[in-house]
Amino acid sequence: MVTDMSGAKVRVPDKVTRIAEQFPAHTAMDVMLGVGKDLVAIPQNVSTIPFLRIVDPGITKVPQLFPSDGNVNIEELLKANPDLVSSTGKGSTVKQFASVNLPAVDMTFTTFPGLIQSVHLAGSVYGGVAKTRAAKYTTYLQSKINMIRSTIAKAHLSPAQTPSVVHIASYPPLVVDGGDSIVQQWIQTDGGTDAAGGLKGTHLSVSMEQLLKWNPNVLIIETPGGDQGLVANSAKSVLASLSKAAGWSDLKAVKDHQVYMDPQGLYPWDRFGPEEALQVQWAAKVLHPELFKNLNMRSVTRNFYKEFFNYNPTNTQLSDILQTTATSGIASASA
């Protein structure tokens, strides 16, 4: 019996060897925990992410039984014969799983403490090597958060030295991430202010007029992927579309060349995946390059994938992940 992220008590098998993954970002977590081979169902679009396909080629053969619209075909899912569902915790689908006596463990989170709790939960549920890897990862994540917080605290930043940030989730239409989210948490951890923090939650539609009112010092733009699907040259296409939007060139971040494309590896770094441990370091260097001048993100990124995924990225792959080509002439924090 385990207690999931919603607080519900769920009875799970002693040995889990067949996992249905409903939570898009958690697919990369499964791979990190060493249970990628045990996946029998995954969300739609996740396996389109190029680097995930490279690190875990077998992911392309796993049926995509969780569509982005949330309508799960229970009959098809039962044919996959999973031991349990790693769930997004959405009410209607949880009821569907319960109706066929399929254990569903809510793995979702919205904060860094929640991320740590969720990883330990997954390690406990999956058992074996997953438990050891979960402990190793959470130690790494907490150490990086502590390092960043300590560095920021010692700097005694004034309000003028605390940049305002807006994280753009997609365009068009213009969608941003607001407060009470892990996006806001890494912005604040890294010594920034979430200009959209007055809005609560993620993937919130706003107007360009609202963005102009916020007029942030820094803009960070997510690469489409994972639960959204991936388009060719997506980093360049998102930036190209934004550059044509009325009012874009009037934004302070644009004028000051403080527009950054968020990295994407196995999943977009900005939300819910294991690469949050990289995101919090990358964004710290974006917002305070002088404080973190000795933080080499190419080296950090390479070592992370070697240590937690047993994969050594090539220099070209590192450039693709860190968006150095897509953001050429705009801004880059890859060094």
- Quote the pLDDT of residue 91: 66
- Quote the pLDDT of residue 325: 56
Residues 23 and 107 in one domain: yes
User: Taken in order 26, 31, 35, 36, is the CA torsion positive or negative?
Assistant: positive
44: helix, coil or strand? Answer: coil
CB 116 within 8 A of CB 139: no
CB 180 within 8 A of CB 110: yes
Using the 3D structure, point to which of 117, 134, 151 is the last residue of a domain: 134
Instruction: Please list the rounded mean pLDDT of every run of 10 residues in the chain (335 residues).
Output: 92 94 92 96 88 93 87 91 90 80 92 94 95 97 97 94 92 87 94 92 91 96 61 63 90 94 91 94 96 95 97 93 62 42
- Quote the pLDDT of residue 130: 96
Rounded-to-integer distance, Cα 130 and Cα 119, Å: 9
Residues 6+ apart with CB under 8 A from 61: none
- Quote the pLDDT of residue 136: 97
Residues 165 and 287 in one domain: yes
Is residue 307 in a domain? Answer: yes
Residues 81 and 187 in one domain: no
Is residue 104 in a domain? Answer: yes
Residues 182 and 244 in one domain: yes
Which structure tokens are listed for 261? 């494309």
Is residue 169 in a domain? Answer: yes
Residues 129 and 165 in one domain: no
Is residue 326 in a domain? Answer: no
CB 41 within 8 A of CB 81: no
Beta-ladder partners of 1: none
Rounded-to-integer distance, Cα 146 and Cα 232, Å: 37
Which structure tokens are listed for 145? 């958060």
10: helix, coil or strand? Answer: strand
Query: Based on the structure, what is the number of domains in the chain?
Result: 2
CB 235 within 8 A of CB 275: no
Rounded-to-integer distance, Cα 240 and Cα 261, Å: 12
Residues 301 and 266 in one domain: yes
Residues 188 and 307 in one domain: yes
Using the 3D structure, point to which of 134, 152, 176 is the last residue of a domain: 134
CB 98 within 8 A of CB 10: no
Residues 124 and 235 in one domain: no
Q: What is the CATH number of the domain that holds 20?
A: 3.40.50.1980
The amino acid sitting at 73 is N
Reported as type and span, the H/E element at residue 3 is: strand 2-3
Residues 122 and 188 in one domain: no
8: helix, coil or strand? Answer: coil
**193 closest CA partner among 173, 211, 171, 166:** 166
Residues 62 and 11 in one domain: yes
- The full DSSP string for 77-110 is HHHT--SEEEE---HHHHHHHHHTT--EEE---S
Residues 6+ apart with CB under 8 A from 100: 74, 78
CB 28 within 8 A of CB 275: yes
- Quote the pLDDT of residue 234: 60
Is residue 333 in a domain? Answer: no
Using the 3D structure, point to which of 134, 149, 172 is the last residue of a domain: 134
Residues 82 and 36 in one domain: yes
Rounded-to-integer distance, Cα 284 and Cα 202, Å: 21
Is residue 142 in a domain? Answer: no
Residues 122 and 224 in one domain: no
Cβ–Cβ contacts within 10 Å for residue 304, how many? 22
* HSE of 320, CA atoms in CB hemisphere, 13 A: 16
Structural domain of 36: 2-134
In the numeric block, the tokens 């644009």 are attached to 254
